[in-house]
Structure 1
Amino acid sequence: MTAASPDFLAHRTGDAVAVAVRDLEPGPAEGGYLDSDATERVELDQRVPLGHKVALTAIAKGAQVIEYGLPIGIATTDISRGNYVHTHNVRSARWQNSVA
């Protein structure tokens, strides 16, 4: 990562999503992990507001969305690396066994 502050941070290595540390515009973004020195570069295809999530990996429809090393949601559509991840493409994992 450059000397500039990161664009996003992931909580744990292996997380599928990271959190934007400022409003991010489409284009290249760089960030890292709180539990390692590893860095990630992604090409954002959408604006990602401060505090919202960006996909670090492709996530298939129906797959778990992993953050904090834990499933936080289920993808309701295919999510590409660099996509904005929010309620339009993920539902909470909390009620995944509930009747829809």
Structure 2
Amino acid sequence: MKARTVHNKRGSHISIAQPLSAKTGTKTSGATYTVKKGDALSVIAQKNGVSMATLQRLNGIKNPNFIKVGQVLKLTDSASPQQKAKNHLTRCLQAFLK
């Protein structure tokens, strides 16, 4: 791949010279957690290394104080690591170019 430089409006630049590769974490894609009596979303998030905001987004939870015993929560996005890396890079470049 030929090196390419991208400039933003503020005069900063980045060089793009090689394909993106991403290492995956220890959690498997599509991991879940079943809510038990006494659980709180904040504790579930902390124990599983994700933010409350992520749990709320992945599970469509509007009120973090209202989860049900037996409810199965998604802990990770089901997108592939490659797709997640591509999405992240796209967001970073968009922010950079603003």
Q: Shared topology, TM-score over 0.5? A: no
Q: Does 1 or 2 have the higher relative contact order (CA < 8 Å, sep 6+)? A: 2
Decide which structure has the larger Cα Rg and report it.
2
TM class by shorter chain equals: under 0.3
Normalized per residue, the structure richer in strand is: 1
Normalized per residue, the structure richer in helix is: 2
User: How does the TM-score come out when normalised to structure 2?
Assistant: 0.24
User: How does the TM-score come out when normalised to structure 1?
Assistant: 0.24
